[in-house]
Each structure stands twice: as structure tokens, then as C-alpha cells.
Amino acid sequence: MSEVSPIRPALASLVAVLERAGSTEEPNEEIVGLTILHHGLQCAALLAASDPDDLELQVAGLLHDVGHVLRPGADDVHGAVGAEAVRPVLGDRVADLIDGHVPAKRYLVTVDDAYRAELSEGSLRTLAVQGEAMSDAEMAAFAGAAHFDAVVRLRRADEAAKDPAAVVPPLEHWLPTLSLLAG
């Protein structure tokens, strides 16, 4: 008799969180009709177009805001909450990318004067609780971290993925990729 992998139920639980995200408005955004799921689907689609060979980055884009579903109101730590939830299922890199998307916003605001002007009103509000611009030490540590380039691409896609009318592949499109990465 073969043992049932603990990954399969964990993946099913993660997909259930994504399904719940389909009925949860993206917090902190005044964009009517933008759910956490649709935002994640847009982000994943943008990353699939820009980085077609990086499935982990695409899946991180899909899941980057699940922390908002798991712990509503935790704007400052939603990346860490999401990373903790996906790490045992999808591995360290996907989790690290999700965890890094919040400090990536702080980094980009610090190093790119034009980036702050690209932020939505909601992103500007959460930036305040997330720590605003980085110190020199924080910037050096972040820029030297593993996956730096990918997490910055994730952050830029995150900000661009806020069109409630965008037509993107549905969650079902991502199920084979999630299953593949879950091993």
C-alpha cells in the first residue's frame, strides 16, 4: 500500500484559499471589482509573458497576496504570512519571492524616484505601515539577497496587475503548474 503524500492535501488547501480570494476584494485598493484572485491571476499572466520559463516566479505572482486572505488586515506582514503557507507545498524559492514582494516595494521607492508615482493609492497607504523607504543597510541586504532580480520583477508586475477588466487565464489554467511545482 502506498502512502498518500501530505503535499496533495496541502495543495488542495492552498487552492481553496485561492478560491476564497476570488470573492475577497483586494484590500487597500479603491478599484471596484478587483479581487485578490483576479489581481493574482493578472500578476501571474504578466510574469508568464515577461518570464515564460520561470514557473516559480509566475506562481509567486499568482499567490503573492494570499496572506491577505489568511490574515486579513496584516498589511505589513502579509508577504511573510503567504510565504509561510506556501513554503511546505511549493518550496523555498516561491515562498521567498512572495515574502520579498513587500520589501521590494520599499526598495524600489528608495532607489527609483519615479516608482512612487507609479504606486496606486492603496500601495502608498500600505507603504507607510510597511516601513516606507529603506535605510542604506536595508537596501544593501535586500540587493544582496537571493532572487533579488526576480522579486523586483514580481513587485513591478504586482503594481501593474490592477485592472479589474483584464482578461487573463482562470485559476484552472494554473492548476497543472501548481501540481507540477508541488511535486
Q: How do residues 63-88 score in pLDDT, each as one tens digit? A: 999 999 999 988 889 999 999 999 99
pLDDT, one tens digit per residue, over 82-104 is 999 999 999 999 999 999 999 99
Q: Is the pLDDT of residue 26 over 80?
A: no
Q: With bands split at pLDDT 50, 70 and 90, how would you rate the model's confidence at 169?
A: very high
6 vs 160, residue with greater confidence: 160
Terminus-to-terminus CA distance in the chain, angstroms? 20
Q: Which domains does the chain have, with CATH numbers?
A: 7-182 (1.10.3210.10)
pTM value is 0.91
Select the more confidently predicted residue: 24 or 2. 24
Determine the pLDDT at residue 2.
38
Among candidate residues 178, 176, 173, 182, the one with its CA nearest the CA of residue 42: 173
